[in-house]
Chains A and B, each alone.
Chain A
Amino acid sequence: MIHSLFLINNTGDIFLEKHWKSVIGRSVCDYFFEAKDKAGDPENVPPVLQTPHHYLISIYRGKLFLLSVIQSEVSPLFVIEFLHRVADTIQDYFGECSENVIKENLVIVYELLEEMLDNGFPLATESNVLKEMIRPPNILRSVVNTLTDTLPTGQLSNVPWRRAGVKYTNNEAYFDVIEEIDAIIDKSGTTVFAEIQGAIEACVRLTGIPDLTLSFMNPRLLDDVSFHPCVRFKRWEAERVLSFIPPDGNFTLMTYHISSQNLVAIPVYVKQNISFFDTASCGRLDITIGPKQTMGKMVEGLSVTIPMPKSVHSANLTATQGSYTFDLATKVLVWDIGKLNPQKLPNLKGSLSIQSGVPKPEENPSLSIGLKVQQLAISGIKVNRLDMYGEKYKPFKGVKYVTKAGKFQVRT
């Protein structure tokens, strides 16, 4: 399926290549470079390209391109999903997926790629299994040389996501319910579209093979869900509880979606006025943010990002709270506010200067809002209880809620 993989940085250097079948020359990447130049922005490069003899499927992540070479019909999502899994694995191993990190750990990355695919077909993609075969570098290599003599067993059990013989002195299981609000608010402040994307991120450090059951107070809220392979579908369908043998360490247990049909609470409102004058080459900007439906919780980490039109030259603004930066190269204005004080609403006001001789921008830029509300799942979802079977000890359990702004956009 996947014939070869090239890792390419933003400037077009190929710094790693791996072939699972016979070797394909680097020149195949030229077609990709051509498309990349044409697209301009790396985000705009088409993920699937055709060349005379091969097909190229690429992803762009962390300023890197992962480019795979395909020779015959395959589901493109299969390849894309796999490439993202490669990036995830690298991130899992080394903390981030960037050119420097990969260059530093070239051999380990190469070995990982060797294990992840056999003849171009995914073999081991579970991080628990991979870590048994190839140790991450943070453990002393001297230890590794003795350790690797034990061969992995994870692939054999019917819980391939869990490594065998897990032992902890402190047994703990933490679950973070993270919700993101995706919304589009129009000029007048009405919600054009809003939905909630939730995820339960788990950090489970439990000895042995625990069997966990997690239930919700109000599972009916969940509109559409997807699970880590460890979750038993049938149990969910019949009883609406999550029953699973967890992987060891960090993982995403489930993601869910609460669609716009249900009323989605919007925690803040934005009053904005951005205008450019016809006559003088300048514009005015005035933004105020206030609390709307915060359920009595504090809104933190508030920020506003505005990609200004290219003709905007500079910004001369005053913020009553927080600070702003205007990047002259990318023309992005970022206003970092911090906590929202309901008594004294943060305001950003001032003038924008436009390059002279250039006609005034047609459209006002839209604002992206960033925010965070601790201890609140905006959808109202609540974990009821977590039970453990199969092991005798008492684990330490915890659930945390947090709401964030996802793709939260205000049109102006």
Chain B
Amino acid sequence: MSSTALYNDQGGAETAVEAGQESTSSTGAAFGLFSADFKKNEDLKEMLESNKESHKLEAMKRIVGLIAKGKNASELFPAVVKNVASKNIELKKLVYVYLVRYAEEQQDLALLSISTFQRALKDPNQFIRASALRVLSSIRVPIIVPIMMLAIKEASTDLSPYVRKTSAHAIQKLYSLDPDQKEQLIEVIEKLLKDKSTLVAGSVVMAFEEVCPDRIDLIHKNYRKLCNLLVDVEEWGQVVIISMLTRYARTQFINPWKEDGLDENNETAFYDSDSERNQTEAKPYIMDPDHRLLLRNTKPLLQSRNTAVVMSVAQLYWHLAPKHEVSVVTKSLVRLLRSHREVQFIVLQNIATMSIQRKGMFEPFMKSFYVRSTDPTNIKTLKLEILTNLANEANISTILREFQTYVKSQDKEFAAATIQAIGRCATNISEVADTCLNGLVQLLSNRDETVVAESVVVIKKLLQTQPSQHSEIIKHMAKLFDNITVPMARASILWLIGEYCEKVPKIAPDVLRKMAKTFTTEEDIVKLQTVNLAAKLYLTNSKQTKLLTQYILNLGKYDQNYDIRDRTRFIRQLIVPSEKSSALNKYARRILLASKPAPVLESAFKDRDRYQLGTLSHSLNIKATGYQELCDWPTIAPDASVRNVEIIEPVNEWVPKAGKSKQRKSEKFYSDEEEDRDEAGSESSSTEDSSSSSSEESDKSSSASEKTSSESEANSIDLFALLCSQVTTSSFSPVKTYDLLHHMSAKGLAAKYHFPRQPCLYQPCMVAVQVILTNCSDHNLEEIHIGDRIPASLNIHCFNTIERLEPGAAVTVSMGIDFSDSTQAANFQLCTKSDKFNVSIQPVVGELLTPSTMTEEDFCMEQRLKLAQGTVVPVGSYCCFYQLY
């Protein structure tokens, strides 16, 4: 206790010391061990309290080292938590690490740090906001649930997609801390599901899966968007989204598998019900376009480098695609077999399940499952399993030849598994049953006990399933008997002869005679079976074998081994009728010669298909906690229109001028454009990348141009001309306003901007931008102007300095920015008298372009030209009918 006392003295009056001390001393036996730690931690504490940053940093590093090793550093909590507000980011990060680890144990002290996080949640830097939310939500202290809830709600509407992503993660953490918040959290999830950023999609679906996987209705409106975003989502998010969409699709679409069955059933229904409603399920089966969309958009992910993504696409195809399309996943799955051992293991398990139902899928790749002597045993056995599943009349000879090599393997466990596999092939393919049986019989002379034992077991099974052939093989085995030395095999043969002694009435007594001769020199296990054989023969053929049996029973009576003596005594009582013998005697025949049930030879993976492929449950063949059952296809497709997303567009208001009949078309066109624009917006830095799909875009735009051309034919009002004329009138309200500066982060100065879509007055190469400045603080803001630009070469036409902005007042100013025809953000400073704020304007491609009229021919010409040149202008398709400013 001396060291505790010492610690107490120096530790002063802090309450936490008591807590720390208690927890340590309560560990009892380990106490002596920890005393050294105490001294060490004391100097860490001193370092933490020093004024030098470097000392603190050094101390924190050592503390995190302790945590990593799993040592207890909780008594340092008070000293550490003081540094939570440190300016040094490196130090701060380490303090966060510490807090997350120990906050749960030291709840009261952890609360001291909360205000720091609350402040950081309002920081202008998105990374600081995100990391504050991350740590705050990781502190598992129930008292702060309301604070967390508030923070999550706020962050879910944050401008930065990164912060929104973090809020999606925080939802799960809060849910596991306090499940009562479920309803409120679902609201946040619902909001975040609508998010169009690829960054958020994966995380929010993860939150959905964890909090409310059964609220499938939340997905409807976002289904198409998720399908379309999928390719650009980060790989981990892809896995989660794909598995969620698999479940979703199983509830929403009709079964694509039973094509024939459906035809017949629908024949009548088709005629007498109104045809419009029935169209989707009418014959022949027509796949829901949304179902097709999912299949189409997941297919390219088979080429992912991430094995989990490939597997999840494979299971999606397995569970959702029409039967004839499933085989597209085969190649990719086989490719995964080149990966790490653990990956191979899981993939092989899944292939094993698949190959039972669909041999054809993997048969062309049979050789990829050939076993190498360097494979670990569990991989070998799985490959063997698959090869056995794939065996059919055509390839059996190849497979058996391959098996011959495996049987000789030095890995005896694997050799034994091969023998079982041969047995299965023999039962499944009757043509080769004889060959297999002969091969197995030959193996009986193998020197390895496992091989022989396994062969005998398999032969035994085969004989039990094919009763007709008994006598020949048993005779053969009896012949071999003299040459076989392995006791296990000898014993097994004796059992077989005994079991089927009625089929080989001549041989059996002879074998028994031989055994009687060598009985004393045999191994124990053989002796036991000899006694068994004798007993069985005594019951069936007592005339010939009575004396032999009695001789053997006498030998057994005086054997050195008590097991044999016991068995002999038991058998004698059972079979030889005597005065003393019990009632059991009557039943001797029924006991010894009861027909034994034939063992079943089937794949261990036969019933695994009840679990969704690629899941933990499938891998373990046990229903894991939290496993979501994949439900059956609905018989009647639920309403598909729930997935329709109506787009509310300001442009709609003036579209009717172009003719009511065309409204739908133009709406469609604008929705396309809007979608693209939003995509470009979320892919912040460069649409040059536009990894999404240049071809798809050109598709869209070409179809769009078709529509517009037809439109212009119809009303001779060109849409773009219309747009052009509309935008120049001041009454037109812009499509979208973007936040430039949030008042929380800029001491009350809020700035929003939008693109008025007017030719810039200052210079032709500039894009006009209107900025609305609002004073949300309670004091006057003075001298609002534009400061430094980054890069300095950035060409901006500034607005005149605003001398004073009253509280609550707002002013709109216009400025011009030369984006140099790129989507690179323009970064500059917005300054007031006392402060400078870094802001950035991210142009959307659409805002950089000016509309121009073009006939369809010209458009196609232009497009072809661009393609022929091979220039990479992913936005080229736009350029074709817009021209750059």
Which residue in A59, A77, A118, A192 is a CB contact (below 8 Å) of B134?
A118
Which of A78, A148, A192, A223 gathers most chain B CB within 10 Å? A78
How far is B404's CA from A192's CA once the two chains are assembled, in angstroms?
Answer: 14
**B312 & A75 in contact (Cβ 8 Å cutoff):** yes
A300 at the interface (CB under 8 A from B): no
B693 at the interface (CB under 8 A from A): yes
Q: Which residues of chain B are near A76, meaning CB under 8 Å? A: 346, 614-616, 619
Q: Which residues of chain A are near B345, meaning CB under 8 Å? A: 46-48
How far is B300's CA from A227's CA once the two chains are assembled, in angstroms?
Answer: 10
B104 at the interface (CB under 8 A from A): yes
Chain B 679-696, CB-CB to A under 8 Å as 1, else 0, gives 000111110110111111
**B203 & A121 in contact (Cβ 8 Å cutoff):** yes
How far is B689's CA from A389's CA once the two chains are assembled, in angstroms?
Answer: 11
Q: Provided the pairs A73-B617, A84-B340, A151-B127 are in contact, do residues A15 and B307 lie with their beta carbons within 8 angstroms? A: no
Which of B318-326, B368-376, B571-579 forms contacts with chain A? B368-376
**B625 & A106 in contact (Cβ 8 Å cutoff):** no
**B367 & A122 in contact (Cβ 8 Å cutoff):** no
**B373 & A366 in contact (Cβ 8 Å cutoff):** yes
Q: Provided the pairs A70-B616, A77-B307, A118-B169 are in contact, do residues A125 and B162 lie with their beta carbons within 8 angstroms? A: no
**A226 & B304 in contact (Cβ 8 Å cutoff):** yes
Which residue in B232, B303, B619 is a CB contact (below 8 Å) of A227?
B303
Q: Which residues of chain A are near B620, meaning CB under 8 Å? A: 48, 50, 55
**A50 & B305 in contact (Cβ 8 Å cutoff):** no
**A73 & B626 in contact (Cβ 8 Å cutoff):** yes
Chain B 606-625, CB-CB to A under 8 Å as 1, else 0, gives 00000000111101101011
Interface residues of A in 183-235 (CB under 8 A from B): 184, 186, 192-193, 195, 197, 209, 211, 213, 223-230, 232-235
Interface residues on A, range: 35 or more
A119 at the interface (CB under 8 A from B): yes
Q: Provided the pairs A211-B872, A229-B305 are in contact, do residues A17 and B68 lie with their beta carbons within 8 angstroms? A: yes
Which residue in A71, A121, A192, A363 is a CB contact (below 8 Å) of B367?
A192
How far is B160's CA from A19's CA once the two chains are assembled, in angstroms?
Answer: 28
**B176 & A72 in contact (Cβ 8 Å cutoff):** no
Q: Which residues of chain B are near A58, meaning CB under 8 Å? A: 342
Which residue in A16, A74, A223, A233 is a CB contact (below 8 Å) of B300?
A233
Which residue in A47, A186, A224 is a CB contact (below 8 Å) of B342?
A47
Interface residues of A in 301-344 (CB under 8 A from B): 307, 309-310
Chain B 238-267, CB-CB to A under 8 Å as 1, else 0, gives 010001000000000000000000000000
B816 at the interface (CB under 8 A from A): no
How far is B696's CA from A23's CA once the two chains are assembled, in angstroms?
Answer: 48
Which residue in A121, A225, A237 is a CB contact (below 8 Å) of B169?
A121
Which residue in B68, B307, B694 is a CB contact (below 8 Å) of A16?
B68
B67 at the interface (CB under 8 A from A): yes
How far is B340's CA from A259's CA once the two chains are assembled, in angstroms?
Answer: 19
Which residue in B161, B166, B341, B447 is a CB contact (below 8 Å) of A359?
B447
Q: How far is the CB of A362 from chain B (nearest CB, A)?
A: 6
How far is B366's CA from A192's CA once the two chains are assembled, in angstroms?
Answer: 11
B627 at the interface (CB under 8 A from A): yes
Q: Which residues of chain A are near B172, meaning CB under 8 Å? A: 119, 121
Q: Which residues of chain A are near B94, meaning CB under 8 Å? A: 107, 111
Chain B 685-712, CB-CB to A under 8 Å as 1, else 0, gives 1101101111110000000000000000
B206 at the interface (CB under 8 A from A): yes
B355 at the interface (CB under 8 A from A): no
Q: Which residues of chain B are near A89, meaning CB under 8 Å? A: none
Interface residues on B, range: 35 or more
Q: Provided the pairs A110-B68, A234-B300 are in contact, do residues A44 and B378 lie with their beta carbons within 8 angstroms? A: yes
How far is B61's CA from A71's CA once the two chains are assembled, in angstroms?
Answer: 30
Which of B4-12, B405-413, B631-639, B794-802 forms contacts with chain A? B405-413
Which residue in A74, A152, A228 is a CB contact (below 8 Å) of B616?
A74
Which residue in A26, A121, A409 is a CB contact (below 8 Å) of B374?
A409
Q: How far is the CB of B141 from chain A (nearest CB, A)?
A: 12
Closest to A228 in B: B305
Closest to A133 in B: B93
**B410 & A73 in contact (Cβ 8 Å cutoff):** no
**A107 & B61 in contact (Cβ 8 Å cutoff):** yes
**B232 & A238 in contact (Cβ 8 Å cutoff):** no
How far is B138's CA from A78's CA once the two chains are assembled, in angstroms?
Answer: 23
Which residue in B340, B373, B446, B872 is a CB contact (below 8 Å) of A80?
B340
Which of A82, A125, A234 gathers most chain B CB within 10 Å? A234
Q: Provided the pairs A80-B346, A158-B685 are in contact, do residues A252 and B203 lie with their beta carbons within 8 angstroms? A: no
Interface residues of B in 621-664 (CB under 8 A from A): 622, 624-628
Q: How far is the CB of B250 from chain A (nearest CB, A)?
A: 16
Q: How far is the CB of B569 from chain A (nearest CB, A)?
A: 37
How far is B688's CA from A80's CA once the two chains are assembled, in angstroms?
Answer: 34
Interface residues of B in 281-323 (CB under 8 A from A): 300, 303-308, 310-312
A145 at the interface (CB under 8 A from B): yes
Closest to A310 in B: B410
Which of B147-155, B331-339, B517-525, B752-760 forms contacts with chain A? B331-339
How far is B90's CA from A232's CA once the two chains are assembled, in angstroms?
Answer: 37
**B688 & A234 in contact (Cβ 8 Å cutoff):** no
B787 at the interface (CB under 8 A from A): no
Q: Which residues of chain A are near B67, meaning CB under 8 Å? A: 110
Q: How far is the CB of A290 from chain B (nearest CB, A)?
A: 23
How far is B447's CA from A282's CA once the two chains are assembled, in angstroms?
Answer: 18
How far is B570's CA from A79's CA once the two chains are assembled, in angstroms?
Answer: 57
How far is B97's CA from A109's CA once the two chains are assembled, in angstroms?
Answer: 12
Q: How far is the CB of A328 from chain B (nearest CB, A)?
A: 17
**B689 & A46 in contact (Cβ 8 Å cutoff):** no
B235 at the interface (CB under 8 A from A): yes
A21 at the interface (CB under 8 A from B): yes
Closest to B687 in A: A158
**A309 & B410 in contact (Cβ 8 Å cutoff):** yes
**A75 & B616 in contact (Cβ 8 Å cutoff):** yes
A37 at the interface (CB under 8 A from B): no
Q: How far is the CB of A154 from chain B (nearest CB, A)?
A: 11
**B373 & A257 in contact (Cβ 8 Å cutoff):** no
**A255 & B305 in contact (Cβ 8 Å cutoff):** yes
B23 at the interface (CB under 8 A from A): no
Q: Provided the pairs A14-B70, A257-B335, A363-B410 are in contact, do residues A233 and B303 lie with their beta carbons within 8 angstroms? A: yes
**B234 & A75 in contact (Cβ 8 Å cutoff):** no
B69 at the interface (CB under 8 A from A): yes
**B373 & A78 in contact (Cβ 8 Å cutoff):** no
Closest to A75 in B: B614
In the assembled complex, 19 residue pairs joining A and B whose CB atoms fall closer than 8 Å, in A order, are A18-B68, A50-B622, A55-B624, A70-B616, A75-B615, A77-B307, A81-B307, A109-B68, A121-B169, A155-B162, A155-B199, A159-B689, A184-B372, A224-B334, A226-B304, A232-B691, A238-B695, A255-B338, A359-B447
- Considering the complex of A and B, which 5 residue pairs feature the smallest CB-CB distances, nearest first? A72-B626, A158-B683, A363-B408, A47-B342, A43-B376
With A110-B65, A209-B686, A390-B688 given, name 5 new contacts (CB 8 A). A80-B307, A224-B331, A225-B303, A227-B304, A232-B691
Binding site for A on B (CB under 8 A): 57, 61, 64-65, 67-70, 88-90, 93-94, 97, 100-101, 104, 125-128, 134, 137-138, 140, 160-162, 166, 169, 172-173, 176, 198-199, 203, 206, 231-232, 234-236, 239, 243, 300, 303-308, 310-312, 331-332, 334-335, 338, 340-343, 345-347, 364-365, 367-368, 370, 372-374, 376-378, 402, 405, 408-410, 446-448, 614-617, 619-620, 622, 624-628, 682-686, 688-689, 691-696, 872
